[in-house]
Structure 1
Amino acid sequence: MSRNLCITAVDGQTGHLIAELLLTDPNFSKCFRSVVGLALNVEHAHVQHLESLGAAIVSHQPGRERVMTKQLKDMGIDTICLIPPTHPDKYDITFELINAAKKANIPNVCFISAAGADLADPKKQPRLSEFIALEHLVLASKGDTTTNTGHSPVVIRAGFYAENLLLYASQIRSEHVLPLPIGDMHKFAPIALGDIAQVAAHVLSGEGPHGFSDKHRGQLIVLTGPMLAAGNELATAAGKALGFDVEYVDISGAEAKRVLKSQSELDSSEMEFLLEYYSLVREGKTNYISTHAFHDITGVHPTELEEVFKMYAAEFQGQGGDEPAAKRRKTKK
């Protein structure tokens, strides 16, 4: 088997890391004839890095579905990893990509969704709810006899990325506090982004008589980290990893919005998503872990929360230097 793979949103963290892993790990790279990355911003450092590793980069111009369909056909894409981009028009852009994949007759589709989206209230958590609507669009192709798209589908519901806690690195460094609007009663289980990439890489490289491996094909895969943690437990894990006490502070949604707005690199849609997820935690809808699929697919244990804090200790301690966090991110082999 040698697939022609397309990964969308490679200018974002998720798409970049999945593509990087597939291009650099020989266990995965041997499975692909070509790896194509779609990017809204082809000048992004992530994109340039992937290009240096051998990825073919295509500028993604939303609103041109016919052009995108033709590009996918011309490149002979038979496998696509659909990642909704961090963008105010995420739903419309992804809707268009799903239709383009369908018209391009791509049989193997892996869609990266969000854990907890199925529990979201469309009125209170509309950004989260969008993922369920997009899942429906992907899965609806299964019964459409006019296209091969959906013949071999996988949906990965990725949990809250532990890397999002890096947004609070300045507060942890200067004040030794972790300010989150999640209350004192309920918990959630952040997952390392590298673990999401590992599962996606196994799915995208898996082979079976119908496309993806029969171990993965048709699966709805829910992924969270292995530790269910309340705010004070997150702070304790951070303190153990960093070597100084960290205090959890429950803040209001308004204050949380002000904290996130101070992050210049944070897109408004990403901020809305995070605030909605925090509200889901506060409502007690994230008091679970889901790690069996990770064990079954990768054969190893997911990254512990304390290990994640150690992984990014330089950022939390103010010693990050010029090396980007993505370069220091560890992924399991």
Structure 2
Amino acid sequence: MSRNICITAVDGHTGYSIAEFILSHDNLKKKVGTITGLALKPQSQHAKDLAKLGVKIVPHKPGRMKEMVNAMKSTGADAVCLIPPAHQDKVEITQELIEATKRANIPNVCFISSAGCDLADPQKQPRLREFIELETLVLSAKGDTSTETGHSPVVIRPGFYAENLLLYAPQLLEEKTIPLPIGESHKFAPMAIKDLANVAANVLTGKGKHGFSDKHRGQLMVLTGPLLCAGKELATAASQSLGEELEFEDISENEAKKVLQTQSDLDPSELQYLLEYYSLVREGKTNYISTTAFHDVTGQHPLEPPEFFKEASEQLKAHAKNGKNGHQSKKRKTEE
């Protein structure tokens, strides 16, 4: 029997990547009957691209529990990938999604959390710490006899996406620097978003007698990239792949915030999340790698930073071009 999957926040990078990964790999695609994507912005490019691939896009309208439950039931899904959206009301929206999943009686739940949430300080890194609260809500369904949800849970905690480094494309390509507020000495292990998509796709399509595959069911999977990097080592990896001599620049959090606000269209909550993750690095709380789950689930090796930069070189140039156009547009508006 084919697995019917519902993925939330498919208009975001994570949801899009997971759905696209399943549909672009025949060994996974053949295990799936339908994929339904819930989208806060159903007219976004990600949602439109997935619709072309055969994903049924359902508008996600928060705030109406009954409608949310009906929407979940209408998908016919027996597995849901719950992804907190990049939204200022992320916690409230995700709480509602978790409750709707329980009321819709969907048995298999894969929740996408965040590495480092367990080490985050509620006062210093509140956006990161929120994931602990949400994980608890998902896992507490295990003891709720009124619903099948929680019968087969998986929680995945992906680390810092290497793609976030592309937000600094103008600095990388024009100023030959990687400006990050991470300090000089502490390290972190950036991972490619497609590696998270690979693990989540295998979990969502895996089957066992109790729902998800017994290899995955009940697991808390922490994912990072395979190489610990301080800023200078990251610059070295980028230099090798891009054929340019890049240097790391340790900048202040305020400067990082200004750069991200200028060069990206990140939701403010997502921007705060990034700044909080950088602060975890500065505190020495990310000096570890966690690749065992990736190896066990996929049988492969996660992408190394030099390989990531090599694959991302064209994307970097596109980012830089868009960034330049964006600056010109903002300048014109100011002059007007």
Same fold at TM > 0.5: yes
Aligned partners of 1:269, 1:199: CA distance in 2, in Å? 25
C-alpha distance in structure 2 between counterparts of 1:95 and 1:148, whole Å: 17
2:122 equivalent to 1:122: yes
Instruction: Give the secondary-structure state (helix, strand or coil) at the position aligned to 1:140.
Output: helix
1:170 aligns to what? Answer: 170
Identity %: 62
Q: Superposed, which structure 2 residues align to 1:56-71 within 5 Å?
A: 56-71=56-71
Residue 107 of structure 2 contacts residue 211 of structure 2 at CA under 8 Å; is this kept in 1?
Answer: yes
For 2:2, the equivalent position in structure 1 comes to 2
> Match for 1:205: what amino acid?
T
In 2, Cα distance between equivalents of 1:148 and 1:271: 36
State yes or no: 1:25 paired with 2:25: yes
Structure 1 unpaired stretches of 5+: 323-333
1:318 Cα shift? Answer: 5.6
Equivalent residue number for residue 241 of structure 1? 241
> CA offsets, 1:171-222, max 9 Å, x none?
0111001110000110000000000000001000001000000000000000
Shift of 1:4: 1.5
- The one-letter amino acid paired with 1:297 is V
1:134-157 deviation line (CA, Å, top 9, x unaligned): 000000000111100000000000
- Cα displacement (A) at 1:319: 8.6
Q: C-alpha distance in 1, partners of 2:147/2:320?
A: 48
Within 5 Å, which residues of 2 pair with 1:254-269?
254-269=254-269
- CA–CA distance in structure 2, aligned partners of residues 9 and 201 of structure 1: 15
**Aligned counterpart, 2:332:** none
Asked if 1:102 corresponds to 2:102, the answer is: yes
Write the letter of the residue equivalent to 2:277. Y
Counterpart Cα distance in 2 of 1:271 and 1:309: 22
Residues paired across the two proteins, number: 322
**Residue aligned with 2:35, SS:** strand
Cα distance in 2, alignment partners of residues 225 and 24 from structure 1: 22
- Cα contact 2:78–2:106 (8 A) shared by 1: yes
Aligned 8 A contact 1:6 1:36 in 2: yes
Other structure's SS at 2:118 match = helix
Normalised TM-score (structure 2): 0.94
Asked if 2 retains the 8 angstrom alpha-carbon contact of 1:173 and 1:318, the reply is no
Offset of 1:72 from its aligned partner?
A: 1.5
* Alpha-carbon shift at residue 67 of structure 1 (Å): 0.5
- Stretch deviating more after TM superposition (37-46 or 74-83): 74-83
Distance in 1 separating the partners of 2:66 and 2:132: 25
Q: Is the 8 A contact 2:65 2:96 kept in 1?
A: yes
Whether contact under 8 Å (1:222, 1:293) holds in the other structure is yes
Structure 1 Cα separation of the partners of residues 230 and 319 of structure 2: 27
**Corresponding residue for 2:294?**
294
Give the match's secondary structure for 1:137.
helix
Partner of 2:37: 37
Specify the alignment match of 1:82 in structure 2: 82
Change (3 A) 1:212 1:318: closer
1:202-221 superposed matches below 5 A: 202-221=202-221
Structure 1 counterpart of 2:278: 278
Q: Which residue of 2 aligns with 1:145?
A: 145
1:317 positional shift: 4.3
Q: SS of the counterpart of 1:312?
A: helix
Question: Is contact 1:5-1:34 (8 Å) kept?
Answer: yes
TM-score normalised by the chain length of structure 1: 0.95
Secondary structure at 1:38's aligned position in 2? strand
CA distance in structure 2 between the aligned counterparts of 1:87 and 1:181, rounded to whole angstroms: 23
SS in 2 for 1:110: strand
CA distance in 2 between counterparts of 1:19 and 1:315 reads: 20
> Take 2:201 and 2:271, find their aligned partners in 1: how far apart are those partners?
27
Within the alignment, does 1:312 sit opposite 2:297 as a pair? Answer: no
Output one character per residue of 1:46-103: Cα deviation in whole Å (capped at 9) or x when no partner: 1011101111110000101110101222332210000000111111100000000000
Cα deviation for residue 245 of structure 1 reads 0.6
Is residue 167–residue 319 contact of structure 2 (8 Å, CA) maintained in 1?
no
Is the partner of 1:88 in helix, strand or coil?
coil
- SS of the aligned residue for 2:263 comes to coil
**Aligned AA (1:209):** K
* 1:242/1:317 contact within 8 Å kept: no
- Out of 22-31 and 281-290, give the one that drifted further: 22-31
Superimposed CA distance per residue, residues 257-309 of structure 1 (whole angstroms, 9 cap, x where no aligned partner): 11111124211111100000000000000000000110111001100011010
> Which letter does structure 2 place at the counterpart of 1:79?
A
Q: Is the 1:224–1:289 Cα contact (8 Å) retained in structure 2?
A: yes
The residue type equivalent to 1:300 in the other structure is Q
In structure 2, list runs of 5 or more residues that go unmatched.
Answer: 323-336
Query: Is the contact between residue 179 and residue 250 of structure 1 (CA under 8 Å) also seen in structure 2?
Result: yes
Q: Supply the AA of the counterpart residue of 2:67.
A: V
State the alpha-carbon separation in 2 of the partners of residues 270 and 310 from structure 1: 26
